[in-house]
Amino acid sequence: MRSQAGFGDNAKTLQWQLFDMTKDRGETTDLATSQPQTVQRLKEAWLKYADEVGVAFAAH
């Protein structure tokens, strides 16, 4: 899963993408729309981790 602008940018508000890397190594099929619960769960886990380690998000 990734935000469109990548890690380190303001990942709290950007559009997130989700790919099945076992089936789609080229990241051609975004599964975020069909699996919103997975995106939300992973986003929350990443934001918690980012807070714990002190990731500084870029100001926009």
Condensed to tens digits (0 to 9), the pLDDT of residues 34-57 reads 999 999 999 999 999 999 999 887
Residue-averaged pLDDT of the chain? 83
Confidence of residue 31 (pLDDT cuts 50, 70, 90): very high
Look at residue 56 in the predicted model and tell me its pLDDT: 82
Confidence of residue 59 (pLDDT cuts 50, 70, 90): low
E-only strand ranges, the chain: 2-3, 16-17
How far is C-alpha 11 from the geometric centre of its chain's CA atoms? 7
Confidence of residue 15 (pLDDT cuts 50, 70, 90): confident
At residue 45, φ and ψ (nearest 5 deg) are -65, -40
The single-letter code of the amino acid at 2 is R
What is the Cα–Cα distance from 37 to 6, expressed in whole angstroms?
20
